[in-house]
Amino acid sequence: MTESTENAVTEPAAPQAVHSTTSFAELGVSDIMLSALEEACYHQPSPVQAGVIPIALTGKDVLGQARTGTGKTASFGIPILERLEKKRNSPPQALVLVPTRELAVQVRDEIEKLSFGRKVRTIAVYGGKPIRQQVGKLEKGADIVVGTPGRVLDHMSRGTLVLDGLQTVVLDEADRMLDIGFRPDIEKILRRCPKERQTLLLSATVAPAVERLAQRYMRDPVVLDFSDKTKTVDTIDQYYFTVEATKKYDLLVKLIEREQPEQAIVFCRTKRGTDRIQRKLTKVVKAVDCIHGDMAQGARDKVMKQFRAGEIKVLVATDVVGRGIDVSGISHIVNYDIPQASDDYVHRVGRTGRMGREGVAYTFVTPEEGPELTRIEILINRLLKRDEIEGFSTIVPVASATPAHPDGEAAAPAEEEKPKPPQLPGARRGRRHRRAL
Ligand code: AMP
């Protein structure tokens, strides 16, 4: 692996079409890995795994466009484990950079699951936890380190993480890492990695910023595209409710009563709103909790652990958990506040219906939020179905709707200030008005 100089930039090749193959054995994985996969009940590779694993096993760089929920973690976890060399007291051989603490824990757990039958130490390093604990773990030796860029740099500067022995570096959810401003940190880390290394980059979208990163730090990557044509998985039923802002909470209670979800995430726009909904909901629904970026790391970890264990049934959340988090029992997503960025809709809704399971998503739309809904529909190239619960249909027409915010927080900008919604191909005329009635 060479960091390219100005005149040695490599253009990623055109994406290759990938079809799922029949078995993991055919992908060329070892017997020990086959038993780990059996233990994990992974009977067949997902398309992402079928595409990435055979190439990554050869040591080549791979740029894969794939979302979470597609099995992407194992697609790099398996080749990393297969290519580990047996060395005693050596520095880490693989580094996985991820955007969030939750994803660091999740990726570590997945790699540990796939390490069944091997003596491999995988350590997660991320902010919000005392650094000393992690130093202690790293000092005992690590084969694979999974971490957020800031904390990885911190360990590097303390000398507790040495990158000299790396043979593989993974940039997981690269677009997300760049979105939240990790680019300088990522570059600092990559510049300190051995030049002869394998780089695997996974990203839900390959925006120009991701391409630039790939051109600079990857060597002739094989580019694989697993992005959904329709942007959301087909197994998810998607509905919207037109509801006045002041009635959203009551509608939420009715919807939970009607649906009796196995597990649900209720997405809110603000941290304060998240706290407030959780406090109110706790009085009427069992096993409710919340998670957002203002909570201490320990509290966030505890909530995620309980949610994964199924002890929390309804999790009220901001977009902190909107990306990357994989909890298999999530049957329902409720967009209590419609996401401000349409892409966030795809990430929120993608928390359910994972690996082909069924899921359902409901989005609450106030009369003045018609354009936001239309933008989402254009992005996913699909119309959401309208749902109704008696007593909650709004009678406020678009023109006279007063912008209100259910949580008394910053109200949405007036409709005139918003960009005009693009026309959805095939959408019926007057749909926005129909929605408002
Ligand atoms: P990921 O996209 O890596 O977050 O994976 C989504 C979920 O699919 C995780 O719960 C994995 O444990 C699970 N998973 C990954 N690969 C397979 C497979 N081949 N068969 C069944 N489940 C899988």
pLDDT of residue 157: 96
- Give the pLDDT band of residue 357 (cuts 50, 70, 90): low
Chain CA centroid to CA 254, Å: 29
Residue whose Cα lies nearest atom 14 of ligand 1: it is 71
> Per-residue pLDDT tens for 21-34?
468 998 999 999 99
Name all residues whose Cβ lies below 6 A of ligand 1: 42, 44-46, 49, 68-74, 110, 326, 328, 354-355
> Per-residue pLDDT tens for 119-162?
999 999 999 888 999 999 999 999 999 999 999 999 999 999 99
Ligand 1 centre distance from Cα of residue 200 (Å)? 18
| Cβ-contact 76, 200 below 8 angstroms | yes
Residue at 134 is within a domain? yes
pLDDT of residue 387: 94
**Mutation probe of ligand 1 site: the residue of 33, 263, 355 with most atoms within 8 A of C-beta:** 355
Domain residues for the domain of 64 are 3-225
Ligand 1 atom, smallest distance to 328 CA: 10
What mean pLDDT, rounded, does the chain reach? 82
Residue whose Cα lies nearest atom 15 of ligand 1: it is 71
Ligand 1 centre distance from Cα of residue 276 (Å)? 34
Q: How far apart are CA 286 and CA 288, in angstroms?
A: 6
> Helices 131-139 and 149-158: crossing angle, nearest 10°?
60
Q: How far apart are CA 264 and CA 307, in angstroms?
A: 10
| Cβ-contact 248, 407 below 8 angstroms | no
Give me the percent of the chain exceeding a pLDDT of 70: 80
Residue 302 and residue 208 share a domain: no
The CATH number given to whatever domain includes residue 322 is 3.40.50.300
| Cβ-contact 202, 169 below 8 angstroms | no
Ligand 1 atom, smallest distance to 43 CA: 20
Q: How far apart are CA 307 and CA 314, in angstroms?
A: 8
Q: How far apart are CA 90 and CA 96, in angstroms?
A: 17
- Give the pLDDT band of residue 68 (cuts 50, 70, 90): confident
Domain boundary among 400, 416, 432: 400
Q: Say whether pLDDT at 399 is over 50.
A: no
Ligand 1 centre distance from Cα of residue 39 (Å)? 13
Residue 274 and residue 169 share a domain: no
**Mutation probe of ligand 1 site: the residue of 107, 326, 351, 352 with most atoms within 8 A of C-beta:** 326
Residue at 330 is within a domain? yes
Q: Say whether pLDDT at 397 is over 90.
A: no
Residue 210 and residue 241 share a domain: no
Residue 335 and residue 268 share a domain: yes
User: How many other CB atoms sit within 10 Å of the CB of residue 141?
Assistant: 13
- Give the residue with greater pLDDT, 336 vs 435: 336
For the chain, what is the domain count? 2
pLDDT of residue 235: 67
Cα 222 to Cα 49, 199, 332: the distances in Å are 14, 11, 36
- Give the pLDDT band of residue 355 (cuts 50, 70, 90): low
Residue at 210 is within a domain? yes
Q: How far apart are CA 262 and CA 313, in angstroms?
A: 7
Residue whose Cα lies nearest atom 20 of ligand 1: it is 42
* Among 243, 238, 237, CA closest to 365: 243
- Give the pLDDT band of residue 294 (cuts 50, 70, 90): confident
Ligand 1 atom, smallest distance to 69 CA: 2
| Average of per-residue pLDDT across 74-91 | 93
Q: Say whether pLDDT at 79 is over 50.
A: yes
Residue whose Cα lies nearest atom 1 of ligand 1: it is 71
pLDDT of residue 129: 85
Residue whose Cα lies nearest atom 16 of ligand 1: it is 71
Ligand 1 atom, smallest distance to 355 CA: 8
pLDDT of residue 40: 95
| Average of per-residue pLDDT across 57-84 | 94
Q: How far apart are CA 432 and CA 423, in angstroms?
A: 11
Residue at 424 is within a domain? no
> Per-residue pLDDT tens for 210-269?
999 999 999 999 988 887 644 455 668 899 999 999 999 999 999 999 999 999 999 999
Residue whose Cα lies nearest atom 8 of ligand 1: it is 71
Residue 291 and residue 155 share a domain: no
Residue 318 and residue 253 share a domain: yes
Ligand 1 atom, smallest distance to 67 CA: 2
Ligand 1 centre distance from Cα of residue 355 (Å)? 7
Q: Burial letters for 8-27: b for 16+ Cβ neighbours within 10 Å, e otherwise?
A: eeeebeebeeeeebeebeeb
Ligand 1 centre distance from Cα of residue 72 (Å)? 7
- Give the pLDDT band of residue 327 (cuts 50, 70, 90): confident
Q: How far apart are CA 289 and CA 282, in angstroms?
A: 8
Ligand 1 atom, smallest distance to 113 CA: 12
Ligand 1 centre distance from Cα of residue 254 (Å)? 33
Residue 174 and residue 48 share a domain: yes
Residue at 130 is within a domain? yes
Residue 289 and residue 173 share a domain: no
**Mutation probe of ligand 1 site: the residue of 21, 73, 226 with most atoms within 8 A of C-beta:** 73
Sign of the CA dihedral with 131 first, then 136, 139, and 143 last: negative
Q: Give the best-scoring range by mean pLDDT among 9-23, 152-166, 331-345.
A: 152-166
* Among 206, 235, 198, CA closest to 223: 206
Ligand 1 centre distance from Cα of residue 70 (Å)? 6
pLDDT of residue 328: 75
User: Structure tokens of 206?
Assistant: 């390959």
| Average of per-residue pLDDT across 191-197 | 97
Q: Say whether pLDDT at 4 is over 80.
A: no
Residue 91 and residue 45 share a domain: yes
Q: Say whether pLDDT at 343 is over 60.
A: yes
Predicted TM-score (pTM) of this structure: 0.61
Q: Burial letters for 249-264: b for 16+ Cβ neighbours within 10 Å, e otherwise?
A: bebbebbbeeeebebb
Q: How far apart are CA 5 and CA 2, in angstroms?
A: 9
Residue 12 and residue 134 share a domain: yes
- Give the pLDDT band of residue 356 (cuts 50, 70, 90): low
pLDDT of residue 402: 36
**Mutation probe of ligand 1 site: the residue of 22, 24, 41, 42 with most atoms within 8 A of C-beta:** 42
> Per-residue pLDDT tens for 298-322?
898 899 889 988 999 999 999 876 6
Ligand 1 centre distance from Cα of residue 35 (Å)? 16
Ligand 1 centre distance from Cα of residue 107 (Å)? 11
Give me the percent of the chain exceeding a pLDDT of 90: 58
Residue 186 and residue 107 share a domain: yes
User: How many other CB atoms sit within 10 Å of the CB of residue 3?
Assistant: 14
First to last CA, the chain: 59
Residue whose Cα lies nearest atom 21 of ligand 1: it is 42
Residue 126 and residue 205 share a domain: yes
Q: Say whether pLDDT at 411 is over 90.
A: no
- Give the residue with greater pLDDT, 341 vs 263: 263
Q: How far apart are CA 393 and CA 400, in angstroms?
A: 16
